[in-house]
Copies of this chain bind each other. A is one copy, B any other.
Amino acid sequence: MQPINRMKIEFESKSVNESFARIVAAAFASQLDPTIEELADLKTAVSEAVTNAIIHGYEQQEGLIFMECILYEDSITVKITDHGVGIEDIEKARIPAFTSKPELERSGMGFSIMESFMDSLFIASEKGAGTKITMTKKFSKR
């Protein structure tokens, strides 16, 4: 399928940018006229991935986060990338309630939420190099 629109953004790994990233993704997706619930799901998933890049990827230090959004006829693909520490064991990271940072009161539900709120979730990561999350959400035809 041909993309009908796309954009790329990079921003600093600051927690104040979590809501900014959600607004950007939702504003772009709104070109497809999604329902309020679909838009809320997308915002939540984007928030999870961006928060992970900030907390886990860059361990709350400085760094750049990259987000790419690609619109198709009836779906959006969002890619969120950091050049942070990377994930050693992706299978383990995906287990619901698993977190490597319980001391920060993380719930370990981030990946579970991304998986259930989006239609597909791919995680590519390399220890010491970074992490790239690719998620797609279909929007209902109206």
Query: CB within 8 Å of B: which residues of A?
Result: 5-12, 14, 16-17, 20, 23-24, 27-28, 31
Give the distance in Å from the alpha carbon of A24 to the alpha carbon of B14 in the complex. 17
Q: By the criterion CB–CB under 8 Å, are A8 and B10 in contact? A: yes
**12 A-B contacts (beta carbon < 8 Å):** A5-B11, A5-B14, A5-B16, A5-B17, A7-B11, A7-B20, A8-B9, A16-B31, A20-B28, A23-B23, A23-B24, A24-B24
Q: By the criterion CB–CB under 8 Å, are B14 and A23 in contact? A: no
Q: By the criterion CB–CB under 8 Å, are B10 and A5 in contact? A: no
Which residues on the B side are within 8 Å of A11 (C-beta)? 5-8
Taking A23-B27, A27-B23 as contacts, is the C-beta distance between A12 and B5 under 8 angstroms?
A: yes
Which residues on the B side are within 8 Å of A28 (C-beta)? 20
Give the distance in Å from the alpha carbon of A7 to the alpha carbon of B65 in the complex. 10
Q: How far is the CB of A6 from chain B (nearest CB, A)?
A: 6
Q: By the criterion CB–CB under 8 Å, are A20 and B27 in contact? A: yes
Q: By the criterion CB–CB under 8 Å, are B10 and A17 in contact? A: no
Which residues on the B side are within 8 Å of A23 (C-beta)? 23-24, 27
